[in-house]
Amino acid sequence: MSQFEPGKLINLSRLVHRVVAPNAGMMTGPGTNTYLIGNEEIAVIDPGPADPIHIDAIISAAESLNGTIKWVLCTHTHPDHSPGATPLCERTKAKAYGQVAPAEGMSQDQSFKPDHNWQDLEVLETDSFKIKAVYTPGHASNHWCYLLQNEAMLFTGDHIMNGSTVVIAPPDGNMSDYLNSLEKLKSEAIEHIAPGHGDLINTPLEVIEGTIQHRLMREDKTVQKLAEIQPANLDQLVKEVYDEVPIFLHELAKYSLTAHLDKLASDGKAEKIDDTWQLTSLSSSN
């Protein structure tokens, strides 16, 4: 049996269990990971899409653990992570925790209505586990990571994924926030990362720092290419800044490129005039 066969319960540790949603694809990898935390009183992290088959699988998984779903925690409100919260809570009487969807931004789940809105670093404590909510905006303005303190395992939603970088799509996505959120995680006691897509990561600090350095590399490359071809529009820039990335992914890469350019603009290093970008005198003098 594949570790990522949709609907199958995989026990990852004493407290952590995974069920993968049947929504595999280019953006979701093998599918959205839904995690069940605990064995008697259970917290579900990211119930995924509102797919009746997946909701049935989550409930069946809890029953096989002889547990009751009491809490549903969403990392953010993109449509592959939170829409399952409403039907799951309706069927189990669980309480939803998270943050409402922003009014603007691509593909937001406006149906998500949490019973509880997190405060940063707030802890959900039960008789068998403690989960700390860590506010990590960047991929989405309402993104949260969840640290299972008992096992030093961080559930990262789309903040960190296994095997690929995360798309930062303005206006809701913000590159400065994303980098700051990655830095913030370095102060937490983390031994494992449980991403929203892909398998467990057991070198958390190396991956966090590597993600930061990858983004800074892309920012430096954006500045370098702008200096060579400015003024330039997105179509021109993406071919240069993402020249090692297959062309069929360039439309997707434009989102993160825009986020890098927005960060450079907020740092006073670049400016947009009509549909083209150029460096400012501040950046040119560095």
Question: Residue by residue, what is the 3-state secondary structure of 109-154?
Answer: CCCCCCCEECCCCCEEECCCCEEEEEECCCCCCCCEEEEECCCCEE
Residue 109 backbone zone (phi > 0: left; psi -120 to 50: alpha; other: beta): beta
SS3 assignment, position 76? coil
- The pLDDT value given to residue 281: 78
pLDDT at 153 over 70: yes
% of the chain exceeding 70 in pLDDT: 97
Instruction: Give the model's pLDDT for residue 101.
Output: 93
Asked whether residue 90 carries a pLDDT value surpassing 90, the answer given is yes
Averaged pLDDT, 257-282: 94
What DSSP designation does 80 have? T
Above 80 in pLDDT, residue 284?
no
Residue 27's Cβ-count burial label (10 Å; 0-12, 13-18, 19+) is middle
pLDDT category at 2 given cuts 50, 70, 90 is confident
What's the pLDDT band for 147 if we cut at 50, 70, 90?
Answer: very high
**For the segment 3-54, what is each residue's pLDDT rounded down to a tens digit?**
899 999 999 999 999 999 999 988 888 999 999 999 999 999 999 999 999 9
Is the bond preceding 102 in cis, omega lying within 30 degrees of 0?
Answer: no
Give the residue-averaged pLDDT of 172-191: 97
3-state secondary structure of 212: helix
- For residues 228 and 156, what is the distance between their CA atoms, to the nearest angstrom? 37
Instruction: Give the span between the Cα atoms of 264 and 271, in whole angstroms.
Output: 8
To the nearest whole number, what is the mean pLDDT of the chain?
Answer: 95
pLDDT in the model for residue 283: 59
Average pLDDT over residues 246-262: 96
Q: Flag whether pLDDT at 286 surpasses 60.
A: no
How many Cβ atoms sit within 10 Å of the Cβ of residue 162? 18
Dist. CA 240–CA 247, nearest whole Å? 11
Say which residues have a Cβ less than 8 Å from residue 120's Cβ, sequence separation at least 6.
133, 134, 135
Per residue in 191-223, pLDDT (tens digit) is 999 999 999 999 999 999 999 999 999 999 999
Report how far residue 41's alpha carbon sits from residue 62's, in angstroms, rounded to the nearest whole number. 9
Q: How confident is the model over 145-152, as a mean pLDDT?
A: 98
> What is the pTM assigned to this prediction?
0.95
165 close to 211: Cβ distance less than 8 angstroms: yes
**80-107: average pLDDT:** 92
Residue 103 or 228, more confident:
228
Quick one: pLDDT at residue 1? 47
Q: Phi first, then psi: what are they for 30, rounded to 5°? A: -70, -5
The pLDDT of residue 230 is 92
- Label residue 214 exposed, middle or buried (CB < 10 Å: 0-12, 13-18, 19+): exposed
- pLDDT tier, 107 (very low <50, low <70, confident <90, very high otherwise): confident
Confidence of residue 285 (pLDDT cuts 50, 70, 90): very low
CA distance from start to end of the chain: 55
Q: pLDDT band for position 106 (50/70/90)?
A: low
CA distance 8 to 59: 12
Domains and CATH numbers, the chain: 10-202 (3.60.15.10), 212-284 (1.10.10.10)
What confidence tens digit (pLDDT) does each residue in 117-130 have?
Answer: 999 999 999 999 99
In whole angstroms, how far apart are CA 273 and each of 194, 226, 230? 42, 14, 11
